[in-house]
């Protein structure tokens, strides 16, 4: 096996970096980590490289492929999302794409549940009151900061995108809801890119697996019926801005929305407006369109019923280590012409 050049856009931690440096390959790491490398650094260093480890801030597109030249065999992203990658351009050049599915499911699912609970239980308003020394002088009061709960009869859990992470979220939710055997048990509706011919049997499988009714619906029904709506789909041309003014105007006034997918799936100004106008009860978002340029005066950040986090869904020690190792293993396998542990085909 010949010595290849591998570019790493950010220090990925001791174990993953150890794996890379223990290989016989030349490893070029951006020295300014944890900041993202300037584009000029990437374009300069990718010349003649066989593999590159990128993160969400690093676009893997035609420009990068042209700068790399014919030596490039693999792009390995330290993420499960791949909207920063021009998959078609990679495919046209026969460059393989490694990503990091599964290892972050638990972390993102936990955070999704946390945001749903924080939104329902008005955690941001409660914390604001305490932080501003405004603890109500009524002491305890019967209706202070009340909100919806998971144990509501006939709760409808909605999912925009129903992949692996959504399944992990649903399993967690079902431990908070009325049991499946209850006459008012919750039901689950979801939508994904299109209804498949075999959708009824897929839904029957899901229903068996989760013990509650699970059904594919059109996005209008998803908006209308969901009490808790979880956004967990890929960002692409068909999902960009899908949760916009019209979608939000169809939602229940008592509903909560959580976005742990990509900011651009939800029009954040429309979401802030819907919350301002009481068209939606509350929201929790880990991602915001236009991030990382989200300041304290952003309408969602200012909205008392919206919990905003800075894209930390997978930020547990275990998950990030798993992602780093998978990213390193993918790039090594790619430059060595072996099967990638996790390849996006």
List residues with catalytic annotation.
311
Interface with ligand DGY (CB under 6 A), residue from 177, 303, 314, 330 = 314
CB-nearer residue toward ligand DGY: 102 or 203: 102
Q: In three state form, how does the secondary structure of 189-210 look?
A: EEECCCCCCCHHHHHHHHHHHH
Q: Which is nearer to ligand DGY, 263 or 334 (CB)?
A: 263
153 class by beta-carbon count within 10 Å (0-12 exposed, 13-18 middle, 19+ buried): exposed
Residues 22-51, mask of contacts with ligand DGY (x by CB under 6 A): ------------------------------
For ligand DGY, the nearest residue by Cβ is 81
Does the footprint of ligand DGY cover residue 13 (CB under 6 A)?
Answer: no
Rounded to whole angstroms, the Cα distance separating 105 from 165 reads 5
Q: Which is nearer to ligand DGY, 74 or 214 (CB)?
A: 74
Contact 332, 20 (CB under 8 A): yes
Cβ 157 to ligand DGY shortest distance, Å: 22
Enter the tokens of residue 107.
């972390």
State in angstroms the smallest separation of the CB of 322 from ligand DGY.
Answer: 11
CB of 268 to ligand DGY, least distance (A): 16
**Concatenated DSSP letters for 115-138?**
HHHHHHTTHHHHHHHHHTT---TT
**235, 83 in Cβ contact below 8 A?**
yes
Alpha-carbon gap, residue 268 to 280, rounded angstroms:
13
C-alpha torsion 235→238→239→244, nearest 10: 140
Q: Which of residues 75-114 bind ligand DGY (CB under 6 A)?
A: 79-81, 104
- For 223, residues 6+ apart whose C-beta sits below 8 A from its C-beta are 229, 247, 248, 250, 251
Separation between Cα atoms, residue 260 and residue 159, nearest integer Å: 11
Q: To the nearest whole angstrom, how small is the minimum distance from the Cβ of residue 15 to ligand DGY? A: 18
Nearer to ligand DGY, 287 or 306 (CB): 287
Number of residues that bind ligand DGY (CB under 6 A): 6
Comparing CB distances to ligand DGY, the nearer of 4 and 75 is 75
77 or 156: CB nearest ligand DGY: 77
Residue ranges in 149-208 that form contacts with ligand DGY under rule CB under 6 A: none
Tell me the three-class secondary structure of 211-246, residue by residue: CCCEEECCHHHHHHHCCEEEECCCCCCCCCCCECHH
Interacting stretch for ligand DGY, rule CB under 6 A, among 5-13, 73-81, 181-189, 239-247? 73-81
Q: Closest separation between CB of residue 149 and ligand DGY, Å?
A: 28
- The CA distance from 11 to 212, in Å, is 44
User: Applying CB under 6 A, does 313 fall inside the site for ligand DGY?
Assistant: yes
User: CB of 79: closest distance to ligand DGY in angstroms?
Assistant: 3
Residue 67 has φ and ψ, to the nearest 5°, of: -65, -35
- Of 104 and 324, which has the nearer Cβ to ligand DGY? 104
Report the Cα 322 to chain-centroid distance in Å.
16
Query: Integer distance in angstroms from the first to the last C-alpha of the chain?
Result: 25
For the bound state, the minimum distance from the C-beta of residue 168 to ligand DGY, rounded and expressed in Å, comes to 14
Using CB under 6 A, list all residues that contact ligand DGY. 79-81, 104, 313-314
């Amino acid at each position: 096996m010949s010595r290849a050049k591998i570019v790493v856009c950010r220090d990925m931690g001791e174990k993953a970096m150890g794996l890379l440096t223990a290989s016989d390959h030349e490893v070029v790491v951006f020295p300014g980590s944890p900041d993202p490398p300037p584009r000029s650094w990437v374009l300069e260093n990718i010349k003649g490289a066989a593999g590159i480890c990128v993160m969400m801030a690093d676009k893997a597109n035609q420009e990068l492929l042209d700068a790399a030249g014919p030596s490039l065999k693999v792009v390995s992203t330290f993420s499960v999302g791949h909207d920063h990658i021009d998959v078609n351009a990679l495919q046209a050049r026969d460059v393989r794409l490694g990503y990091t599915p599964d290892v972050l499911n638990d972390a993102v699912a936990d955070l999704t549940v946390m945001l749903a609970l924080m939104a329902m239980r008005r955690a941001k308003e409660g914390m604001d009151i305490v932080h501003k020394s405004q603890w109500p002088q009524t002491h305890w009061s019967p209706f202070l900061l009340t909100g919806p709960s998971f144990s509501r009869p006939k709760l409808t859990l909605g999912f925009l995108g129903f992949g692996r992470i959504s399944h992990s979220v649903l399993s967690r939710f079902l431990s908070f809801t009325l049991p499946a055997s209850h006459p008012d048990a919750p039901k689950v509706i979801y939508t994904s890119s299109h209804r498949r011919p075999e959708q009824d049997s897929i839904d029957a499988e899901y229903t068996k697996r989760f013990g509650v009714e699970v059904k594919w619906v059109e996005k209008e029904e998803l908006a209308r019926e969901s009490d808790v709506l979880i956004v967990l789909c890929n960002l692409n041309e068909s999902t960009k801005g899908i949760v916009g003014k019209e979608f939000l105007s169809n939602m229940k006034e008592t509903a909560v929305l959580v976005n742990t997918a990509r900011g651009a799936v939800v029009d954040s100004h429309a979401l802030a407006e819907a919350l301002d106008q009481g068209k939606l009860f509350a929201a929790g978002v880990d991602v915001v369109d236009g991030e990382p340029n989200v300041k304290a005066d952003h309408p969602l950040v200012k909205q008392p019923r919206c919990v905003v986090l800075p894209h930390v869904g997978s930020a547990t020690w275990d998950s990030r280590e798993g992602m780093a190792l998978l990213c390193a293993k993918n790039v090594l396998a790619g430059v060595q012409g072996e099967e990638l542990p996790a390849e996006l085909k």
